[in-house]
Structure 1
Amino acid sequence: MPYLFAPPQQAVIPVQDERYEFFPVRRVYCAARNYSAHAAEVARPGEVVEAPFFFMKPSDAVVPVADGETVRIAAPEDPEARLEYEVELVACLSKGGRNLTEEEAEACIWGWCVGIDFTRRDRQREMSAKGRPWEVAKATDRSAPVSHLRPAYRTPMPAPADIYLYKNNEKVQSGRTDQMMVSPAGLIVELSRTWELQPGDIVFTGTPSGVGPVKKGDVLLAGVNGVGTLRVEIV
């Protein structure tokens, strides 16, 4: 098939311990406010904390980070900008469908990785106040770095696991995956009621409390026990 120009490079996530195996990313779904403590810390005054909801990032926002490596993410040029970290467990699907049951949703999960949802909190607050979508806050370039992909048969879920993030060697986020308001399979069920999920879809499942800003020179280490770690330097 002739193209007017070269197609964009496929976003991929490396599979743990497999040098030549990669997971091709189709869509990036994200659950907002799936940990009650985080929902409370980002809610506007008087806002009622409700069930989690969803937004998307473009697949080319995904930045894979190999074991032992550090990815560099640029700080915003605007001195008034507020870029914040959100560590998340990410479910990666090898199957899909519509109107899935929870059992079917669990069977769709091929593996897990650790992700950081980088968020322009200043823009998010502005858009929320105006009732506008979040893309300018959430769907920016390189806003979704992820670790290697760990196959689900090595790390069955939803077994409780510690989820954490260190900034400059200080623990700033700490929680457990069983503190989610809706389980990963439950999120997949909800997504399948609106979209037909496909192989290659990934789901950021929410972040615990403790989100905060980054600046040039900061080094982040994010992790989920039993899944992996992810290291980022802000430049």
Structure 2
Amino acid sequence: MTDLTFPAPEWPALPVAGQGARFPVRRIFCVGRNYAAHAAEMGTEVDREAPFYFTKSALALVDSGSVLPYPPGTADLHHEMELVVALGATGFQLRPEDAMRLVFGYAAGLDMTRRDLQAAAKAKQRPWSLGKDFEGGAVIAPITPAADFGLPAGQRISLWVDGALRQDARLSDMVWTVPDLVADLSRFYHLSPGDVIFTGTPAGVGPVGPGARIRGEIEGLEPVTLTLADPD
């Protein structure tokens, strides 16, 4: 066994509803502008030729119910409520009709975003990494196995901040469906168990500050919650 210069970090894993075993997260893929109304509120349009992606480190992940210090370097932290797809099998260069065999389950997730840093990067045509990939930037509720959820269709997706409704839509509003996304990603990556996909957020994103209590729900899945604390 190779000696390490320092202890390796504990790798993140998510609880699975109704099971004792946890789901180890390998990679986090995120889909941009997958709801037309959200693209419009951000001053853009959906690219209907193909989806586009960004990534977050698996070490950005925290469990639902966490208390997260307000992240450094930003004065404009936003919530983005999303359906998360957890993969449990390998696949490469798939057709959409074959893609669903990879799906292990689904979860509610928060793609937290340092919007001011993202906007500054966009203005300079630079990557969004500082705006999207940071400690606590991915919050995921326990995974519900696919057999217990069914297929993403018209389920309601919604988010509240301090009890006030901010986001409210249907999964059927997604431009690119789950089979579309899994198949398209498999053109560029050898997808593997542990990969997860944030599938995009509906309209209604907005700022949250220290003390905010965030709760996101998708019909048929366990809710995702997050409380923001003061900065470190």
TM-score where L is the length of structure 1: 0.93
> How many pairs does the alignment contain?
226
2:7 corresponding residue in structure 1 = 6
String of CA shifts for 1:173-193, please: whole Å, max 9, x gaps: 001001000001111111111
How far 1:140 moved relative to its partner? 0.8
2:186 corresponding residue in structure 1 = 192
How far 1:159 moved relative to its partner? 2.7
2:90 and 2:205 map into 1 onto residues whose CA distance is 31
SS in 1 for 2:202: coil
SS in 2 for 1:182: coil
String of CA shifts for 1:144-168, please: whole Å, max 9, x gaps: 0110010000001123210000011
1:31 corresponding residue in structure 2 = 31
Letter in 1 for 2:70: A
2:84 and 2:45 map into 1 onto residues whose CA distance is 26
Provide closer, same or farther for how the CA distance between residues 108 and 124 of structure 1 changes in structure 2, counting only shifts above 3 A.
same
String of CA shifts for 1:57-100, please: whole Å, max 9, x gaps: 000111122xxxx311111355x610000000000000122111
2:202 corresponding residue in structure 1 = 208
2:147 and 2:174 map into 1 onto residues whose CA distance is 21
1:158 corresponding residue in structure 2 = 152
1:49 corresponding residue in structure 2 = 46
Percent of residue pairs bearing the same amino acid type: 36
TM-score where L is the length of structure 2: 0.94
2:78 corresponding residue in structure 1 = 84
How far 1:207 moved relative to its partner? 0.5
2:163 and 2:146 map into 1 onto residues whose CA distance is 29
Letter in 2 for 1:197: L
Choose which of 93, 112, 125 in structure 1 pairs with 2:106: 112
2:139 and 2:16 map into 1 onto residues whose CA distance is 15
Provide closer, same or farther for how the CA distance between residues 219 and 156 of structure 1 changes in structure 2, counting only shifts above 3 A.
same
Letter in 2 for 1:113: A
Unpaired runs of 5+ in structure 2? Answer: none
